[in-house]
Structure 1
């Protein structure tokens, strides 16, 4: 199962909110971050600003791993039912409604105390809305957020859940004392700490403790089912007739109307109460993607290189994801890097061209592409150029859309034209050259490098903690476009920056070789004249001497 955590502000950005003192070498490696640097997790996913964006991400995930169920986690709040209906229409297989009670102790206090509402309210609204829109039979519904006992499971099933998430309960079973000091790295029970001594001396957890806990929950659930006279948990889903409203013990409680939670009179009884299908397949199955898999299957199995040519149109979404999934399944992320498979396309690519691109997959596109190019890519090469003989100036013309290279961890992207907004957000290892970008370029970047051969938008480098960038500033406006909170800029024209001048020259040479860009060739031929116009952008805490060595570890 693959879960998109829309509910949780402690997941987007750089992973779970974590102070720098807890970011050791292992965690930094796993999250493609910088050791010792605080991991910040802003609430929005920058590739999800509409239900269509969410639908595209679900499609991306189903393309790269067709066997996986895709789950979307939503927070229990007023109106969550409407959002859940949209998620079901976006072809998610499972929806999780998360309550306010539970979650990590490392999150900001404001998030712990003031975000979300009880799961009971969100779950009831979601179940009723899905039934009322003939969607309940297409999607599973789960709830979590402080479930502890079998009685909690019974209540959740009655209100419409068929799956139940536990987090805090098993942690307590393993020894957690709920001290809420997870962020301090000195957990008294050795559960939430990277301190080896505390783990060794104080952690008492065993597999049997968790086994016993869930056995208790299952037994408790079975006993409650027997008391209610219901033969199975499945038969209990949506049975709000088993709930009784009490008058309350005070006058204020007496005025509280809980009938909307029951909702038995709002939806016809013949509507499904639980999911009736194994998966919720999208309406378009990606015919071009399947054709690519057929063409490349023999080369993948034999681990041999191959090259193919195809036409593409903007109805073809997530191109490259299916082949990348096959490569990763058989050989791992970088298993075919030395025997690459190359596809050459002509036309306009739809959303998510080169998404999740694996090492050993090279995609060349003569035309242009929409949003999310190279999102989550881990290796390989994406090269996008205008059609042969195009009369326009590439440095003034858009060739790829918004949110490209979002969350990329490796590989190379060369685009002979400009990119849209949020280019290379949370880039953690990819190498890229483009001829201009919109706002928020390099936001939350933690690795790799970005080379922009033209204008950028505002808020460049916001939250950037790793990697570096070269930016060509022809009109001396870049200083006002940088977010100076975490990054600093300096020229590379002085003698002390000889290594970076040499690196920039090699980057331009490779870019021109791959794209045949006239603007790139002009800059390369006249680099001595333009060198004083380039800025180097790097995190304030980064050592100049180590930046270049870190980029050379990029897998190709």
Structure 2
């Protein structure tokens, strides 16, 4: 077998190096977090509560991520108690705001955010609300961009306003609330909870295989057609336990963002809850049922019997 066409080096400039010969400058010292690491050291190193208040602008990307890295290096996967390191910020955040932030971090913004808020969220809490001087109705205006909560594994996101496309794509464990979303929301979602209090775009739930969404006055026409036709996801009213879960999520949303829309729903929750539609993936429901039965009968959740049943119902 002649591999020379693959390994042949063509038109190499021999005067240029073919491997790394100098270090790259990633300009980390210019990142928003960097000059504040000392100010946050009591939280990052000793686990003591720290509050940082700053103004931001949309050239500042991945705010909070460097803090999260330092926290995780010191405290590991378990992180710290919720809200140990709290950032209260005002202004417009750049892309990837709060990306990967772990448990123990809480970031609150008065203003708005760009795309990828909470990307890879890993236990932290993010809230975004309009400025107190804003003269518009939050639930009718955009508060953050596209692809919110992409690949989040845990944590919470509360957004007092409308967001763009692909809300909570590939979410596997976080809880998120928005007051309206664009197209392709909940795409490939595998876990967690999503609450949508306003209008949705088209193609909701495409490839959704896990987690549950509670959507206010959801139109079936907005849901991925193939998923409905094949029975991969179902739309229904909320069961009693789910109503209580939604109530708890909404209460925290209002508490953290002051959402007038959320408060209005809470005022008449017993009647408004009937307007919510549960979006539930079929296989996820089957797995939860198997696990619940195992708990009730004392069978180990990670045992062979349970996993055999799960693989059977999911065609695994």
Structure 2: how far apart are the matches of 1:536 and 1:297?
43
Find the residue that maps to 2:58 and give its secondary structure. Answer: coil
Equivalences for 1:375-394 in 2 at 5 Å? 375-394=119-138
Structure 1: how far apart are the matches of 2:5 and 2:89?
50
Q: What residue in structure 2 maps to residue 432 of structure 1?
A: 176
Match of 1:522 among 264, 274, 283: 264
Structure 2: how far apart are the matches of 1:119 and 1:462?
45
Instruction: Specify which structure has the higher proportion of strand.
Output: 2
User: Compared with structure 1, are the counterparts of its residues 429 and 286 closer, same or farther at alpha carbon in structure 2 (3 Å cutoff)?
Assistant: farther
Q: TM-score, normalised by structure 1?
A: 0.49
**Which whole-Å deviations, capped at 9, do the CAs of 1:87-114 have from their partners, x for residues lacking one?**
xxxxxxxxxxxxxxxxxxxxxxxxxxxx
Structure 2: how far apart are the matches of 1:392 and 1:546?
42
Match of 2:234 among 470, 488, 494: 488
Structure 2: how far apart are the matches of 1:452 and 1:487?
17
Q: What residue in structure 1 maps to residue 150 of structure 2?
A: 406
Match of 2:22 among 274, 277, 289: 277
Q: What residue in structure 2 maps to residue 308 of structure 1?
A: 52
Match of 2:96 among 331, 352, 356: 352
**Which whole-Å deviations, capped at 9, do the CAs of 1:451-477 have from their partners, x for residues lacking one?**
00001111111111111000012xx6x
Q: What residue in structure 1 maps to residue 11 of structure 2?
A: 263
Structure 2: how far apart are the matches of 1:535 and 1:338?
30
User: Compared with structure 1, are the counterparts of its residues 328 and 283 closer, same or farther at alpha carbon in structure 2 (3 Å cutoff)?
Assistant: closer
Q: Name the Cα RMSD after superposition.
A: 2.2
Q: TM-score, normalised by structure 2?
A: 0.84
Structure 1: how far apart are the matches of 2:203 and 2:170?
14
Find the residue that maps to 1:531 and give its secondary structure. Answer: helix
Equivalences for 1:74-153 in 2 at 5 Å? none
Equivalences for 1:443-482 in 2 at 5 Å? 443-473=187-217, 478-482=219-223
Question: Given that residues 42 and 49 in structure 2 are in contact (C-alpha distance below 8 angstroms), is that contact kept between their aligned partners in structure 1?
Answer: no
Structure 2: how far apart are the matches of 1:389 and 1:461?
36
Find the residue that maps to 1:291 and give its secondary structure. Answer: helix
Structure 2: how far apart are the matches of 1:119 and 1:285?
45
Question: Given that residues 304 and 339 in structure 1 are in contact (C-alpha distance below 8 angstroms), is that contact kept between their aligned partners in structure 2?
Answer: no
Structure 1: how far apart are the matches of 2:105 and 2:245?
25
Find the residue that maps to 2:254 and give its secondary structure. Answer: helix
Structure 2: how far apart are the matches of 1:359 and 1:315?
26
Q: What residue in structure 2 maps to residue 29 of structure 1?
A: none
Q: How many equivalent pairs are there?
A: 284
Alignment pair present for 1:531 and 2:273: yes
Deviation of the 1:503 alpha carbon: 1.7
Find the residue that maps to 1:294 and give its secondary structure. Answer: coil
**Which whole-Å deviations, capped at 9, do the CAs of 1:387-410 have from their partners, x for residues lacking one?**
014221111111111111000000
User: Compared with structure 1, are the counterparts of its residues 350 and 338 closer, same or farther at alpha carbon in structure 2 (3 Å cutoff)?
Assistant: closer
In structure 2, the gaps of 5 or more residues are 293-316
Find the residue that maps to 2:280 and give its secondary structure. Answer: strand
**Which whole-Å deviations, capped at 9, do the CAs of 1:467-506 have from their partners, x for residues lacking one?**
1000012xx6x201112242111122xxxx2222222112
Find the residue that maps to 1:522 and give its secondary structure. Answer: helix
Deviation of the 1:281 alpha carbon: 3.0
Deviation of the 1:338 alpha carbon: 5.0
